[in-house]
Each structure stands twice: as C-alpha cells, then as structure tokens.
Amino acid sequence: MATAAETAKHAEQEQVRRRWLLSTPALIIIFVAAIGPLFVMLAYSFMAKGDYGDVKFGTFSLDGWTSVLFQRDIFDDTLGLADAHLSILWRSLRLSFYTTVLTLIFGFPTAYFISTRPPHTREIWVFLVTIPFWTNLLIRTFAMQQVIRNEGLVNTALIWLGIIERPLQIMHTDVAILLGMVYVYLPLMVLPLYASMEKLDFRLVEAGYDLYASRLQVLWRIIIPLVKPGIIAGSILVFIPSLGAYVIPRILGGGKNMMLGNLIELQFGSGRNWPLGAAISITLMAMVMVALLVYVRNATRSGAGHG
C-alpha cells in the first residue's frame, strides 16, 4: 500500500517537473520581455537623473516620483503642484473617457447593423470595419490632419457652402485629438460589440416587443444587458490605448496639447529626466490597472447579483 502510494506520488512529482520544464521557454520570454523591463523601470524611477539623460546608477532619489505631481521652484526651492503635469493627466483621462463614450455611441449602432444582416453579408461588413488596420497609424493620423486642417476638406467645404467665413481652428485642439482617437479606435469597439451581438437571440427582442416593451425599453432592458460583455470588452480595448496614446496627440494636438504618452516621451528625450519618465510610465500603468479592476468588479457584480 505504502509503496503504491509512494510510486504514485513520485509519478505525480515527475509530471509536475516535466510540466515546468516544458513551459520554461514561455516563462523565459515572459520574464525577459515583460516582467523584467518593468523592474528596470521601477528601479530607474528611484534613481537620480543623469546630467545628459540616463540615470546615476546606485544613487537613490525620490525626485522622479515627487516631480510627477510637484515641481521645485527655481528661486526659493519650495515644492509646488506641477500644474502642467496635472493638466496633462486630466486631459488624458478626460479625452480617453470621451473617446470611449463616443466610440460606444457610434460603434453600438454599427455593430447592431452588422449583426442584423444576413450571415453571408455580415462577414463583408466585418471585413470592411477592419480595413483601416491595413494602413499604418501614422499615415491614418496624417490623413485625419488633411481632413481637419485649416485648408483641409472640412473647412474648404464649409467655406464654399458659405456656412463660415474663416476656417475653424480644429488642428492643435483637444477636439482634433478626440476626432483622431475616435476614428482610430472605433474598430476596437465595433468588433467585440459585434461578437456579443452576433450571439444575441433576436427572438428575445421579439419577445420584448410582444410584452409591450417599446423600442427604447427593448434596448435598455434586453439588448444592452445581454451584450454587456461586449460593451465592457470594447470599452477596455478603447480606453487603455487612448490613455497611452502618443502619435495622435503628437500630430493632431501639436506641441501644446500633450497627453501622458507625449509627456513620457519628452522626459526620455529632450527633457533628459529618465526617473520622471519611468515614474509617469508606472503611474500610467497603475491607472490602467485600476480601470481594469473597476470594470471587472462591476461586471462580475452586476452579472451575479441580479437575482
């Protein structure tokens, strides 16, 4: 008996060992490519900045972290709130939130339209939605610039129609960044929404109408609750890259309207403040994590607690 149990235990241990061995390559990649660099960043954020960029190795400093929110007055050396950083942080959060809401508003009817087409035409519509992905983000952003700049399509058309006399200043405003982000991230909202709507049983919609629910009530009480997983997935997929957007605010927002991505780039580039750049990067990651946690908790609570 005892020997049999022992052999079984040995066999099990052997199996566990082999399983670890087989997953070693994957683990190495995860550590070297994903977790390792995070620790490097974390370490850099706690070091003093070098005079020409980089960091002073081994010199511990909290300056990187304090300057995320505060700045030292150059005359009397007192700490004050870093207004510029706060406004960039606020702009990032605000624009990412608006982008998520707008892509949801435009994406929802789009996904609904596609999922109500006959099966063979659905694939064509999904394919059309993904076409913008074939073009580089940089080029798509410049294309957007062509549309909204002072001599661009929109302004030329509006002037020609006599609606305005002078071109609207859209470029280098938050509106330009928002337009760019909504355009670029819309497919990321449409695709997960479509995936959940495709599974929606439209007989439930008919049952709703049959039970005296108006179109709006069917939308709120039946369709939205049932496609909620898609709404959550789409919102996460749009909100996270929006928060870290770099190319779009750089081109459409100009130098003045920065978002977090641009601020980080600035610190590693001409700002020559790597510890600050590292600290902001980690802050950004923490914000994304918080956003994810809030969503996940919300999703599980409303999913299980309904009854």
Partner 1 sequence: MSDRPARNAIEVRSVSKIFGSGEARFAALDRVSVEIRENEFFTLLGPSGCGKTTLLRLIAGFDFPSEGEIFLHGEDIAPLPPFKRPVNTVFQSYALFPHMTVAENIGFGLEMLGKPRAEIEARVAQMLKLVRMEQLAGRRTSQISGGQQQRVALARALAPQPKVLLLDEPLSALDFKLRKEMQIELKRLQHETGITFIFVTHDQEEALTMSDRIAVMSAGKILQVGTPWDIYDKPAERFVADFIGETNFLTGTVDGIANGVGRARLGSGIEIPATIAEGFAPNGAATIIVRPEHARAVKSGGHLAGTVETIVYFGTDTHIHVRLDQGDVFTVRQQNSRSQSCGFEIGDRAGIEIAADGAQVLRD
User: Would you tell me which residues interact with partner 1 (CB under 8 A)?
Assistant: 201, 203-204, 206-214, 217, 221-222, 225-226, 306-307
> What tokens were used for 52?
């020409």
User: Shortest distance, CB of residue 226 to partner 1, whole angstroms?
Assistant: 6
Half-sphere exposure of 146 (CA within 13 A, CB side): 6
Beta-carbon contacts of residue 267 (< 8 Å; ≥ 6 apart): 273, 274, 276, 277, 280
> From CA 160, how far away is CA 146, in angstroms rounded?
17
Q: Which CB, 223 or 252, lies closer to partner 1? A: 223
User: Shortest distance, CB of residue 212 to partner 1, whole angstroms?
Assistant: 4
User: Shortest distance, CB of residue 305 to partner 1, whole angstroms?
Assistant: 12
User: Shortest distance, CB of residue 120 to partner 1, whole angstroms?
Assistant: 15
Q: Which CB, 109 or 225, lies closer to partner 1? A: 225
Q: How many CB atoms lie within 10 A of CB 145?
A: 16
Q: Helix, strand, coil % (nearest 5) of the chain?
A: 75, 5, 20
Q: Which CB, 146 or 214, lies closer to partner 1? A: 214
Q: Which CB, 27 or 224, lies closer to partner 1? A: 224
Q: Which CB, 158 or 226, lies closer to partner 1? A: 226
CB–CB of 184/138 below 8 Å?
no
User: Shortest distance, CB of residue 205 to partner 1, whole angstroms?
Assistant: 9
